[in-house]
């Protein structure tokens, strides 16, 4: 997501701007790729017009000039109303996670992003007041470079319009500028057009992701609800993975967050095992337990479930700074007024995204019709009393390696391929139909069971290997790998060489 843009004046929430029924939404522009014929420069179109003026009347000339000044889009209330459903009847929020009136426009925006727009639709909006939508850009069928260029072209167009509006009298506005003025009429800022120029942003629709997440959620939701109840965390938190990963346990972010709950490595180490070649962020069950404990800890520190949710994105210390800066724990004021240097677009909108996810999760048929949700997959959890090889576990529980790995995604390649033993204390996850796991575990030969970690077998270098690649594969530090193999002065290795592993 794009970074949040700071202004030098205090910003206050826009009130009375309900996207479902006022001109803010009625004036949404839908960019139609079929109108590419209007993409010629204005000067070229005027030259062509000059050749045809004798055949045009005054009003036709006027209409053409308006079109020439506003390339690529067709403002039409009919197009907007056909694309946007009324949200007047939607009741957002719950007792633990309320939706104050000041947050309703922001929450409606995210519900629309979740349920009305596909990934090929780019919603061009105001970054601070995202419910102010300038245009929906359709880039379906375009190559990535072309799609990006189209988005940049539309952003540049609105920047140009806003730049001129700051120095024009309203009586001199073009039709496009009048429409923009209507969109921004309730923004309580001085020099609002100049400020708005710096806040243009596009948001891709994620309807397809949300639908896929609803299907996947059935697999994990029962376990998550059990876990939340065990810790006394509100049940609505179970919908948070819709925001984080669309219930994809293998999701990876550019910021280094991983798994169903998108923990970063530093935070994850406080609540689960992330070391060597084990990463419990990738385990949807272990990470669900960690998420519940994180949020409970944040609630104990902040005294507010909404603010605990914000801390999941912005950090506990960051939310405390926001509360101290404003002197309040009011969620609406924190989201609409706080302007800390790291309180960007993602943090400002995270809570409202959860409110939208709760609405979708509770009413999937309302937004997606009949969808087939995956059945629950409740694992049997079996803590290991020894260090034991992955193959020995597969043999004991009569499971193919691929299936055992799927149930235990925290185990990295070195464990699955037998280069390291699965450690003592690891909680092995098995299908619900597994009967008497203790008896099955007892069938493992004693020579396969170890009280201490056996020294891992080394790695035999093959063509194309580098120390960096090997360190990454086994999830060890490059410095440790160098030190164990006496390679402090050179990273030179050769095929057939066997490297010891830390």
- The rounded distance, in Å, linking the Cα atoms of 432 and 479 is 42
Residues 499, 493 contacting (CB under 8 angstroms) = yes
Do 73 and 102 form a contact (C-beta atoms < 8 A)? no
pLDDT (average), residues 455-467: 85
> Topology of 459-499 in CATH?
Membrane-bound Lytic Murein Transglycosylase D; Chain A (3.10.350)
Q: What's the chain's average pLDDT?
A: 85
pLDDT digits (tens, 9 = 90+) for 219-254: 999 999 999 999 999 999 999 999 999 999 999 999
Q: What is the pLDDT of residue 338?
A: 96
* DSSP H/E element including 160: helix 144-165
Check pLDDT > 80 for residue 54.
Answer: no
Residue 413 pLDDT exceeds 80:
yes
Band of residue 204 on the pLDDT scale cut at 50, 70, 90: very high
pLDDT band at 84 (very low <50, low <70, confident <90, very high): low
Top mean pLDDT of 6-10, 334-338, 468-472 is at 334-338
Domains 208-368 and 459-499 share a fold: no
Bridge partner residues of 275 (DSSP): 278
Q: What is the pLDDT of residues 285-344, one digit of tens each?
A: 999 999 999 999 999 999 999 999 999 999 999 999 999 999 999 999 999 999 998 999
Of residues 398 and 33, which shows the higher confidence score? 398
Looking at CATH, the fold of the domain delimited by 208-368 is given as Lysozyme (1.10.530)
> Looking at per-residue confidence, does 86 or 113 come out higher?
113
- Does residue 29 have a pLDDT over 60? no
- Tell me the whole-structure pTM to 2 decimals: 0.77
Kindly report which listed range (118-122, 148-152, 478-482) carries the lowest average pLDDT score.
478-482
pLDDT tens, 369-385? Answer: 999 999 999 999 999 99
Domain locations along the chain? 23-89+120-204, 208-368, 380-450, 459-499
Closest CA to 427 of 407, 445, 397, 454: 407
Lowest mean pLDDT among 64-78, 203-217, 268-282: 64-78
Q: What pLDDT, on a 0 to 100 scale, did the predictor assign at position 22?
A: 35
Chain centre to alpha carbon of residue 315:
16
What does the pLDDT read at residue 323? 98
Higher pLDDT, 85 or 437: 437
Please tell me the distance from the alpha carbon of residue 159 to that of residue 230, in angstroms, as a whole number. Answer: 52
pLDDT value for 210: 98
Assign 29 to helix, strand or coil.
Answer: strand
Distance of alpha carbon 334 from alpha carbon 345, whole angstroms: 13
User: 153 pLDDT exceeds 90?
Assistant: yes
The residue that leads in pLDDT, 405 or 275, is 405
With tokens 């998420």, the residue in question is 291
């Amino acid at each position: 997501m794009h970074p949040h843009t700071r202004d030098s004046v205090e910003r206050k929430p826009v009130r009375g701007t309900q996207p479902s029924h006022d001109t803010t939404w009625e004036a949404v522009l839908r960019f139609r790729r079929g109108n590419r014929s209007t993409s010629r420069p204005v000067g070229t179109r005027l030259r062509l017009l000059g050749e045809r003026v004798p055949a045009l009347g005054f009003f036709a000339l006027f209409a053409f000039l308006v079109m020439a000044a506003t390339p690529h889009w067709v403002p039409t209330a009919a197009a907007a109303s056909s694309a946007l459903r009324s949200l007047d009847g939607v009741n957002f929020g719950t007792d633990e996670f309320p939706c104050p009136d000041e947050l309703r426009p922001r929450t409606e925006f995210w519900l629309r992003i979740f349920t009305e727009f596909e990934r090929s639709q780019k919603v061009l909006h105001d970054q601070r007041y995202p419910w102010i939508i300038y245009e929906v850009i359709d880039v379906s069928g375009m190559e990535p470079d072309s799609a990006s260029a189209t988005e940049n072209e539309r952003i540049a167009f609105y920047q140009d319009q806003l730049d001129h509006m700051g120095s024009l009298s309203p009586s001199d506005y073009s039709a496009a500028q009048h429409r923009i003025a209507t969109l921004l009429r309730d923004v309580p800022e001085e020099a609002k057009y100049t400020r708005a120029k710096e806040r243009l942003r596009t948001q891709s629709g994620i309807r397809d992701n949300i639908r896929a997440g609803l299907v996947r959620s059935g697999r994990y939701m029962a376990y998550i609800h059990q876990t939340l109840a065990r810790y006394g965390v509100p049940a609505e938190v179970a919908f948070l993975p819709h925001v984080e990963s669309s219930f994809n346990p293998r999701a990876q972010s550019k910021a280094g967050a991983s798994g169903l709950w998108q923990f970063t490595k530093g935070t994850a180490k406080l609540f689960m095992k992330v070391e060597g070649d084990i990463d419990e962020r990738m385990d949807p069950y272990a990470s669900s337990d960690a998420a519940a404990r994180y949020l409970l800890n944040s609630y104990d520190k902040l005294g507010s479930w909404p603010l605990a949710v914000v801390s999941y994105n912005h950090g506990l210390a960051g939310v405390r700074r926001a509360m101290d800066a404003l002197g309040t724990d009011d969620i609406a004021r924190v989201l609409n007024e706080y302007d800390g240097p790291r309180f960007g677009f993602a943090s400002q909108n995270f809570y409202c995204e959860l409110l939208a996810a709760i609405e979708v999760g509770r009413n999937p048929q309302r937004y997606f019709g009949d969808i087939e949700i995956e059945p629950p997959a409740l694992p049997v959890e079996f803590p290991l009393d020894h260090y034991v090889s992955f193959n020995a576990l597969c043999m004991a529980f009569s499971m193919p390696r691929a299936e055992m790995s799927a149930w235990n995604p925290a185990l990295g390649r070195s464990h699955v391929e037998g280069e390291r033993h699965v450690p003592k204390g690891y909680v092995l996850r098995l299908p619900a139909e597994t009967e008497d796991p203790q008896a099955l575990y007892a069938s493992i030969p004693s020579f396969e069971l170890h009280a201490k970690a056996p020294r891992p077998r080394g790695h035999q270098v093959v063509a194309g290997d580098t120390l960096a690649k090997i360190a990454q594969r086994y999830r060890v530090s490059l410095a440790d790998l160098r030190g164990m193999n006496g390679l402090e002065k050179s990273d030179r290795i050769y095929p057939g060489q066997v490297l010891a592993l830390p």
